[in-house]
Amino acid sequence: MFWSMGLLSCVIACVCGLLELLFFLLRVLVLSFIVILLLLPVLVLLYLLYKLVVFVIRADADLTLLFKTLKPHYFDNKVVWVTGASSGIGEELCYQLSRLGARIILSARSEDKLKVVREGLEKPNQAKILPVDLSDPSATREATEKAKALFGGIDILINNAGVSARSNFIDMQEPTHRHIMEVDLFAPWILTHDVLPGMLSSGFGHVINILSIAGKFGTNSRTSYTTAKFGLMGMMDSLRWEVMDRNVHITNVCPGPVRTCMAENALLSDGSTSKKKNPLIEGGMRVQRCVELTLIAASNQLNEVWISKQPYLLLPYLAQYAPSLCKYLLRQPPTSARERPERELKYQLPDIVVV
């Protein structure tokens, strides 16, 4: 009997111990659940912050453009006039537009280079060559009449041709400055002015301007180039209001450094070419990616887009929302170009397009 009661006591003690352990584990689980519920929003917020940081670091365009996709039929059978088509961004524009079924007019100064580009198109029979020197206003006006006659009108004009410069304001010679203005500002004005009536009468038109992030803020040794880009940006922004209800669209594309021959072809103060590579350009965005994003922007009829690898993509945002901070980050000690004409600037922001 005593043995049975001792065994029963041991069983009861074990059961009580197990119950206490279960209650303890239950309390631990409940507390853990409460802690997780309290920490979950923080964990989610940290995860989202991490994803945002990764997204921003990898971003190569502004947020509006990154969430858009190409509408390939937008260019199908459209007559597209591309200036500066012999190299760089203009050349790649022709390649991609040809694959999208566009009828293309290729313009640049060198007819031989244009022929080479046309032979590389997927549909060379749908492309015409129109050599033109955009620094000559009379030749530019004559070219517009010839371009309209090639396919019976212009649906899309891409003002891509341009020339860069490297010179301080005080050292820039007036003929060189005027040459830059003719190519980068007045030529797009003439081309747009002359093709616009046909776009308005046909009920559709699109003017795409390959500008630069240098059109958003000024930088050292870029006074002439930046003047032209600011001017073209303002002109096209104003024109958009005049034609927006006539189904004519304006898209301003502002690239950062892109791997083109811009640096070598940049003009010095006396009008000679630099003939030197720029490591910022060499490490810039691939031309193919830049053009891909440009066509996405155009096919979605976006007004303005910024295209660049980091950290240059951040600069237009700073210029927009923290202009003083942007200027502080871009500040440079005053330098005479006569004393150090070939000095590389620490925060040098390259321009994009060359003829």
Residue 347 pLDDT: 40
The whole-chain average pLDDT of the chain stands at 86
Question: CA–CA separation, 193 vs 312, rounded Å?
Answer: 32
Question: CA–CA separation, 187 vs 114, rounded Å?
Answer: 19
Which residues on adjacent β-strands are paired with residue 103? 79
Q: What is the phi/psi pair of residue 38, to 5°? A: -75, -35
| pLDDT tens for each residue of 14-42 | 777 777 778 878 888 888 888 878 887 88
| pLDDT tens for each residue of 47-79 | 888 777 777 778 889 989 999 999 989 999 999
Q: How far, in Å, are 53, 180, 207, 262, 352 from residue 163 at the CA level?
A: 36, 6, 19, 8, 9
Q: Out of 51-60, 128-137, 165-174, 217-226, which region has the weakest mean confidence (pLDDT)?
A: 51-60
Query: Among residues of the chain, what percentage have pLDDT more than 70?
Result: 90
Question: CA–CA separation, 152 vs 155, rounded Å?
Answer: 10
- Is the omega angle on the peptide bond into residue 311 within 30 degrees of 0, that is, cis? yes
Query: Among residues of the chain, what percentage have pLDDT more than 90?
Result: 55
- Amino acid in the structure at residue 203: G
Nearest to 268 by CA among 182, 160, 343, 347: 343
Report whether 324 contacts 256 (CB < 8 A). no
Is the pLDDT assigned to residue 314 strictly greater than 90? no
Across 231-241, average pLDDT: 96
Residue with tokens 């330098």: 335
* pLDDT classification of 138: cutoffs 50, 70, 90: very high
> Is position 225 annotated as part of the catalytic site?
yes
Task: Give the active site residue among 50, 95, 225, 317.
Answer: 225
